[in-house]
């Protein structure tokens, strides 16, 4: 019996898609429980790149059940398209491979329009939303004015023709499978696939520069309708550096030249919007805070290969405000914007050393720094985009 909640420990885009895909080979079920199609999970399988926004990453394997839990906002038009695309790639051939909770709130074309209009009207105060209608849909959900996937597929004629057309395609997949998730948590292996990252959480992130949903592992229970008692350990994913797309505090942004070089080498452009991501040195203060929020004991570090070739690499180990080190985590974006990062600098490693079957010594030392600072165990390191490009130190499923 085991389940694992895979979450991002930064501002999203940590490379969760690849990790979930890799862990899914031992799973019976993959469950998405938060966010919506603001997420974009990039996978490279046999050299072919696929991006999924709403269907769980487990859909790339043929023997797994995938669930879109009640905590996910569903744009039926996007979901219908994604199902059809995956089917054209030979995936999701059978109905049992995907279940959508009837309780998911529906994102409508009006939500998308409102998101774009509000964002454009914010001027200098922009959040940098993905304009996928997430905020406005949540407003209607929490304001008890929205409608849900169950309502849509039961009475499609009541809604916009674009939605009712999509409803026809998704209807066969709409069913409540909470009991099955609970059963498999106890008798099999369930992987909860988080979207975005802890620092984008509506409460614990860098408000108001956050998404509208909860991005913590704790939300896996609520967002999939199972007891908190059976949701297992969190596996936190972090890049060996960090990135942010959209506005908001980002104290460790690299100097312009390095930022540009990392963006190009790391392909740091939004999987959903194509926007360039800001690149920064790993922020261990923020990472430790994210680990604390969910008692994360296992970490996977992605994209260490992108740092190869740099003479030196840095990590932020403390925050200062007005020259004074602070011992608390900033509770407002205003305060966060005043943060001056305190760095430690470590010797780099070369591209050639990355071709060896083991990690370069200086890369190992850097991993050790992350481990010591956060108190969590690094269970794996990603060394490239492909499925096989990773070093596993210990099986993340092991309890």
The question of whether 13 is a catalytic residue gets the answer: yes
Query: Which stretch, 35-43, 185-193, 250-258, 373-381, contacts ligand IMP (CB under 6 A)?
Result: 35-43
Number of H helices, E strands in the chain: 13, 16
Residue 221 binding: pick among Mg ion, ligand IMP, none (C-beta 5-8 Å cut-off by kind): none
Q: Which is nearer to ligand IMP, 78 or 195 (CB)?
A: 195
13, 115, 140, 283: which is the annotated catalytic residue? 13
Query: At closest approach, how far in Å is the CB of 214 from ligand IMP?
Result: 12
130: contact with ligand IMP by CB under 6 A:
yes
Write out 257-308 in H/E/C secondary structure.
HHHHHHHHHHCCECCCCCCECEEEEEEHHHHHHHHHHHCCCEEEEECHHHHC
One of 102, 128, 188, 386 touching ligand IMP (CB under 6 A): 128
Chosen from Mg ion, ligand IMP, none, partner binding at 196 (C-beta under 5 to 8 Å by type)? ligand IMP
- Do residues 67 and 31 make contact, with C-beta atoms less than 8 angstroms apart? yes
Taking CB under 5 A as the rule, does residue 40 contact Mg ion? Answer: yes
Number of residues near ligand IMP (by CB under 6 A): 21
Cα–Cα distances in angstroms (integers) from residue 198 to residues 6, 34, 51, 287, in the given order: 11, 12, 21, 9
Ranges within 44-63 binding ligand IMP (CB under 6 A):
none
Q: What does the alpha-carbon distance between residue 144 and residue 115 come to, in Å, rounded to a whole number?
A: 18
Q: Which is nearer to ligand IMP, 45 or 116 (CB)?
A: 116
**Residue 135 sits in the site that holds ligand IMP (CB under 6 A):** yes
> Does residue 200 bind ligand IMP (CB under 6 A)?
yes
For CA atoms 40, 46, 48, 54, the dihedral sign is negative
Q: How far apart are CA 191 and CA 23, in angstroms?
A: 8
Q: Which is nearer to ligand IMP, 126 or 297 (CB)?
A: 126
Among the listed residues 41, 53, 111, 214, the single catalytic one is 41
Which is nearest to 52 in space by CA: 95, 5, 87? 87
| DSSP helix/strand/coil, 175 | coil
- Is residue 271 close enough to count as binding Mg ion by CB under 5 A? yes
Among 78, 100, 134, 190, binds ligand IMP (CB under 6 A): 134
Closest by Cα among 285, 198, 279 to 244: 279
Site for ligand IMP in 233-272 (CB under 6 A): 245-246
Residue 134 contact, options Mg ion, ligand IMP, none, Cβ 5-8 Å cut-off depending on partner type: ligand IMP
Residue 129 as a binder of ligand IMP (CB under 6 A): the answer is yes
Beta bridge partners of 276: 269
Assess whether 53 carries a catalytic annotation. no
Choose from Mg ion, ligand IMP, none: what does 211 bind? Cβ within 5-8 Å by kind.
ligand IMP
Region 9-28 residues binding ligand IMP, contact defined as CB under 6 A = 11-13
d(CA 15, CA 386): 11
Indicate whether 380 belongs to the interface with Mg ion (CB under 5 A): no
When the beta carbons of 35 and 330 are compared against ligand IMP, the nearer one is 35
User: Which residue lies nearer to ligand IMP by CB, 11 or 159?
Assistant: 11
Paired residues of 318 in beta bridges: 342
Q: In sequence order, which residues have a C-beta less than 8 Å from that of residue 240 and are 6 or more positions away?
A: 282, 301, 302, 303, 304, 306, 307, 366, 370
CB-based contacts of 277: which residues, under 8 Å, 6+ apart? 13, 243, 244, 245, 263, 268, 269, 270
Nearest residue relative to ligand IMP (C-beta): 246
Contact positions toward ligand IMP, by CB under 6 A?
A: 11-13, 38-40, 127-130, 132, 134-135, 195-196, 200, 209, 211-212, 245-246
Q: Which residues are catalytic?
A: 13, 41
């Amino acid at each position: 019996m085991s389940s694992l909640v895979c979450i991002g420990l930064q501002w999203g885009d940590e490379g969760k898609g690849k990790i979930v895909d890799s862990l899914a080979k031992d799973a019976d079920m993959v469950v998405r429980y938060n966010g919506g199609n603001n997420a974009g999970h990039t996978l490279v399988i046999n050299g072919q790149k696929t991006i999924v926004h709403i269907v769980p990453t487990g859909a790339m394997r043929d023997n797994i059940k995938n669930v879109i839990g009640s905590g996910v906002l569903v744009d039926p038009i996007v979901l219908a398209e994604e199902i059809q695309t995956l089917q054209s790639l030979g995936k999701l051939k059978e109905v049992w491979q995907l279940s959508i909770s009837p309780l998911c709130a529906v994102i409508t074309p009006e939500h998308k329009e409102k998101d774009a209009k509000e964002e454009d009207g914010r001027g200098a105060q922009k959040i940098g939303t993905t304009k996928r209608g997430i905020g406005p849909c949540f407003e209607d959900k929490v304001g008890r004015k929205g409608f849900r996937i169950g309502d849509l597929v039961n009475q499609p004629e009541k809604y916009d023709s674009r939605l009712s057309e999509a409803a026809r395609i998704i209807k066969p997949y709409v069913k409540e499978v909470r009991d099955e998730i609970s059963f498999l948590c106890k008798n099999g292996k369930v992987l909860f696939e988080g979207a975005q990252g802890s620092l984008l959480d509506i409460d614990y992130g860098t408000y108001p520069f956050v998404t509208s949903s909860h991005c913590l592992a704790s939300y896996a229970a609520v967002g999939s309708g199972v007891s908190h008692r059976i949701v297992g350990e969190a596996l936190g994913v972090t890049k060996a550096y960090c990135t942010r797309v959209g506005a908001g505090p980002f104290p460790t942004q690299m100097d312009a030249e390095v930022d540009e070089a990392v963006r190009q080498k790391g392909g740091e452009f939004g999987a959903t919007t194509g926007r360039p991501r800001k690149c920064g040195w790993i922020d261990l203060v923020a990472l430790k805070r994210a680990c604390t929020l969910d008692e994360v004991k296992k970490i996977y570090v992605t994209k260490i290969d992108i740092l190869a070739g740099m003479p030196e690499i840095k990590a932020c180990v403390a925050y200062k405000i007005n020259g004074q080190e602070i011992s608390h985590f900033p509770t407002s974006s205003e305060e966060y914007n005043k943060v001056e990062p305190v760095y430690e600098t470590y010797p780099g490693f070369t591209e050639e050393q990355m071709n060896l079957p083991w990690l370069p010594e200086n890369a190992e030392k850097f991993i050790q720094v992350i481990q010591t600072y956060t108190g969590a165990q690094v269970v794996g390191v990603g060394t490239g985009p492909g499925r096989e490009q990773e070093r596993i130190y210990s099986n993340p499923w092991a309890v």
